[in-house]
Amino acid sequence: MRSSLQKLNELRKRNDLSWSWRSEVRAKEETMGDEAHASQSDNDETSANTMKILFLSSDTGGGHRASAESLAKQFQLLWPGQVEYVLHDMVTNEGTPPYSSLVRFYKHLSANPSQWKLVYEVSNSRAFEMLADAHLKLMCERAVRRRIMDIAPDVVISVHPLMCNVPVMSCAKISQKTGKHLPMFTVVTDLGSAHCLWFANGVEKMFVGSQQVWDLAQARGKVPDEKLVMSGLPIRHDFAVQAEALGDRMSEQGKAYQAKVRQELELPRFDKPTLLVMGGGEGVGSLSKIVDALYVELVDQGIDALILVVCGRNEKLKDDLERRDWESVLEKGRKKRDQRVATSSTCVSTVPPTGCMDGTVTNSIRKILSNSSLHMDNPLSAPALQAEESPPAQEETALPPEKPTPAPEEPAPEEPAPEEPTPEEPTPEPAPEEQAPESAPAHLANTEGASFSEEKKELDFEAVSMEPQLPLVTQTPVSLDVPQPSFERCNGEVTVTGLGFVTRMAEYMVAADILVSKAGPGTISEAAAVSLPVMLTSFLPGQEEGNVDYVVDGGFGAYVSDKDPIGIAEELTLWLRDPVKLGLLSKAAKAKGAPHAARDIARFIGDSTLKWKEINEERSKENAEEVENISSSDSSQ
């Protein structure tokens, strides 16, 4: 009897230590590829291929839940009728204060960015990581372990940073207790930066969406490189479908498909440039001011456009857009723009009023300070500057040669006199350098003292002979002494349509030419999947700050704060006026897109889980047979 007990104890120890050969299984997983998935699709093995998946998430922002649901959808598509999944918030249900109140705190902090920044920066540190790790494991690990055992999943997938360290420990303990390996994976749902609590070792694999997050994982040093997988961010399946149908957005085929989608969405106009303006799932943000500024700028610049505003659950904003007096918006917007130009130091006594209203200087300075012109050439502004710098060179050849005139009157020994020109005969070369600095367009030169000659069709200066290029729409010269109306031009036809909570977002992004949004990682990834240029207007400090760099450095968008709605409108107007620049932005977005990330992640995890399930069942049968043999030998004795 004692020998039988010893054998049982040895068997239990062997079960606990049986995970030492997991490296061999992982090596087999890496080579099996799609063959394992194909072999597991036979109808005779349906029961063996069923999977129960536990997603660990929390409603601190919509991105975590959206990623989990995107993955769940792919599991169901890859293994139809064989997948059961549970989406559980262990922070709220099994956590202790203050973690159990995190969802409620998030809504307050996200509305107060300065407070959010303080909390994020304090928590994203090595000291806090060690403290939170110890506290959560001490106070929550048992409750988390019990809940996982109650759900009895075949695999655990974390899509939230607070559900990594503790569940990893719980899964390891469950594996030791049951003798069946419970695999766990982490899918990082941040894009340009990531919180330190994401990087918990002990997972099978960690899927990251960008090189920035990969570098952070390596810098933390917790997760080995062989466990990191560059996958892209998991997004909704609809975007993969639309990305394949759209192809190259700027090609004839892509434009034809875009027109088709616009007709299916029953948009007011199918042939207009379309801007999609978003502020998050709740319709928050300075949407109203941004829309007003866009309307004014597009109308005054003569650009026909359609503005689609995603109001979300903000029914008040949607109703207000439908009843808004756009003539009044136009009048107020122009006054604000006049005040903006009047207070700009760029337009003080050196530029004609029409130059300020045209926005050339303010646009150039704002672009240099804020957006992607730091990283890519602007094909709109560069030729303009070159064209404006060329007239002074032509002017030198146009000036009549006045030096030979005084020669006959002066004696021959005094011929060197032309080296010192008289005040009536200024040298033309230094004039452009003094009047128009190299950093500014030629039309910014000082025009004080100029008079217009109708016979020569040019400006004659008393102090300097120079022909400035005025920033006017027409080419005919206009007297500067007569005040010119700033907005005497062909107005654009602009339509504003408010949308509620959108369920066909992928199609609306295909229909749009530009997306205006906050810097949410999911939204950015979805836009990139359908090669849509992005204008970012706000971000949560710390958490979403890196997403701005991801877009700007990636060359498929820019950032202008929502506190400067006129600046947003001016920049977007430049994009719409320049098809070449818009095409470059779209191409860069497509290069960053990963429309099939969710499918790739789900396939990898599903194949690995089914393999582990098969191994666990084989080990269980072997152990059961050995126990039965031991019991039989004892009974026979």
Q: Does the structure show a pLDDT above 70 at 401?
A: no
Average pLDDT of the segment spanning 276-300: 81
State residue 49's pLDDT score: 72
Confidence bin at 633 (pLDDT 50/70/90)? low
Q: What is the DSSP string of 11-49?
A: HHHHHHHGGGGHHHHHHHHHHHHHHHHHHTT-GGGHHHH
State residue 437's pLDDT score: 43
Q: Does the structure show a pLDDT above 70 at 25?
A: no
Asked whether the beta carbons of 533 and 510 are under 8 A apart, the reply is: no
State residue 125's pLDDT score: 84
- End-to-end Cα, the chain, rounded Å: 9
Q: Does the structure show a pLDDT above 70 at 459?
A: no
What percent of the chain clears pLDDT 70, i.e. is strictly above it?
66
Highest-confidence segment of 130-134, 368-372, 422-426: 130-134
Confidence bin at 629 (pLDDT 50/70/90)? low
State residue 200's pLDDT score: 86
Asked whether the beta carbons of 198 and 214 are under 8 A apart, the reply is: no
Rounded CA-CA distance 323/433 in Å is: 53
Locate the DSSP E strands across 352-505.
Answer: 450-453, 458-461, 494-499
Q: Does the structure show a pLDDT above 90 at 28?
A: no
pTM of the model: 0.70
Domains of the chain by start residue, with CATH: 53-235+596-636 (3.40.50.2000), 238-338+490-592 (3.40.50.2000)
Give the tokens for residue 200. Answer: 């918990």
Average pLDDT of the segment spanning 131-151: 88
* CB neighbours of residue 161 within 10 Å: 24
Confidence bin at 129 (pLDDT 50/70/90)? confident
Task: Give the three-class secondary structure for 254.
Answer: helix
Rounded CA-CA distance 163/633 in Å is: 47
State residue 47's pLDDT score: 55
Average pLDDT of the segment spanning 179-194: 92
Return the ∠ at Cα 458 (arms to 456 and 462), rounded to 5°: 105
Task: Give the three-class secondary structure for 193.
Answer: coil
Q: Mind listing the pLDDT tens digit for each residue in 462-506?
A: 444 444 444 444 444 444 444 444 445 578 899 999 998 899 999
Rounded CA-CA distance 302/273 in Å is: 12
State residue 140's pLDDT score: 87
Q: Mind listing the pLDDT tens digit for each residue in 357-379?
A: 333 333 444 444 444 434 444 44
